[in-house]
Amino acid sequence: MGAGAGVSTGTAARWVERWERQQQLYAVDREERFAVIADLVEHVAGGRPAPLVLDLGSGPGCLAARLAARLPGAEVLAVDADPLLLELGSAHYGRALRFVNALIGEPGWLDRLGLDRPADAVVSTTALHYLGERTLRRVYGELAGLLRPGGILVNGDHISPDSARMSELARDVGRRHAARHAVCGHEEDWESWWSGAAGDPELAPLLSHGGEGGRAPCEGNDLTVSGHVALLREAGFTDVGAVWQVGPSHVLAAVR
C-alpha cells in the first residue's frame, strides 16, 4: 500500500498534519502522552535487537512514527481498519512503518498481522474504548499471549477514575489544563476532517461507505481504571497500573 494507490506524498503530508491538529482536541496533553508511551516502550524494548512494536488503532501512524524514530532498529506495525488512514500513513511515512489492515477484536484479526515472533511492546491510544467489555477481555488475553515474557502493553485513553466524585474532578482538571495550554488553529475537528477528506478528489475513492472510515459499530465500555486493571490481571499480566494521568487522560501499563 503506498502512494501508487492514488494519494501523492504532498497530499498525504497535508492531511496527516491536519489529522494531528484535530486529534489534539480529543486528547489532553497529547504530545506528552505520546512521549510517555515512547518512554515506556524504550525502557522495555530499547536494549533489544530489532524489537517488534505494534500500534493498535494507529490511524495514519502518528504515534507509530514517533516510536520508529525513538527506536531506529525496531520493526513497527501500524494496525488500523480504515483504508484511507492507512493509505495516508503509507504515502507519508513510507518504509519507516509497516501498515496492516485489521479490525481489533474481529475473529482472526491477529492472523492478519503476519507475525513470526512475539512482540516486545503493544501500544494503543484512544482506540480500545471502542470495544465492549467482553471483546476487550478477549483482546487483552490475546495480547498477553502475543507478547514475549517481560513485554509491555500500553494503553493511553480517556479512562475514568474509580469514583463519580474523582471522575468529576478529573474532567475539570482536564478542561482547565486544556484551556491553559490551548493551541491556536484548532478550527479542525473530527467531523470537519472527514467532510474535508470526502471533498478531496484524491481521497474520496478511499473513503468507506458512510464517510468515516472502516470502523465496526462502537460497542463502547465504561470501565474505570480498576476495571481495566482487573481485566489485564485476568489476562495474565503480572504488573499493571496507571503511570501517567492528566485529568481523565491516562496511560496504563501492563507487563507480561
Q: What is the pLDDT of residue 29?
A: 86
Give the strand order in the sheet containing 119-125: 98-101, 75-80, 52-56, 119-125, 147-158, 249-255, 239-246
Long-range (24+ apart) CB contacts under 8 A made by 66-72 are 66/34, 66/35, 66/38, 67/37, 67/38, 67/41, 67/123, 68/93, 68/96, 68/97, 69/96, 70/38, 70/41, 70/42, 70/46, 71/41, 71/42, 71/45, 71/46
Distance in angstroms (rounded) separating the CA atoms of residues 184 and 27: 16
Residue in the structure block whose three cell numbers are 485513553: 157
The helix-helix angle for 30-45 and 62-70 (nearest 10°) equals: 40
Return all residues near 48 (Cβ < 8 A) that are at least 6 apart: 120
Q: What is the pLDDT of residue 37?
A: 98
Mean residue pLDDT of the chain comes to 90
Which segment of 22-26, 116-120, 174-178 scores lowest on mean pLDDT?
174-178
Distance in angstroms (rounded) separating the CA atoms of residues 67 and 52: 11
Q: Judge contact between 153 and 87, C-beta under 8 A.
A: no
Per-residue pLDDT tens digits for 64-115: 999 999 999 999 999 999 999 999 999 999 989 999 999 999 999 999 999 9
Task: Write down the pTM of the prediction.
Answer: 0.90
Residue 255: CB atoms within 10 Å = 18
- Report phi then psi at 163, rounded to 5: -135, 155
Q: What is the pLDDT of residue 162?
A: 85
Secondary structure class of 98 (helix, strand, coil): strand
**pLDDT tier at 44, thresholds 50, 70, 90:** very high
Distance in angstroms (rounded) separating the CA atoms of residues 227 and 247: 18
Q: Closest Cα partner for 162 from 225, 217, 107, 249?
A: 225
Q: Judge contact between 76 and 56, C-beta under 8 A.
A: no
State the Cα angle at 196 between 193 and 199, rounded to 5°.
155
Distance in angstroms (rounded) separating the CA atoms of residues 140 and 103: 15
Q: What is the pLDDT of residue 1?
A: 41
Distance in angstroms (rounded) separating the CA atoms of residues 245 and 185: 25
Mean pLDDT, rounded, for 118-131: 95
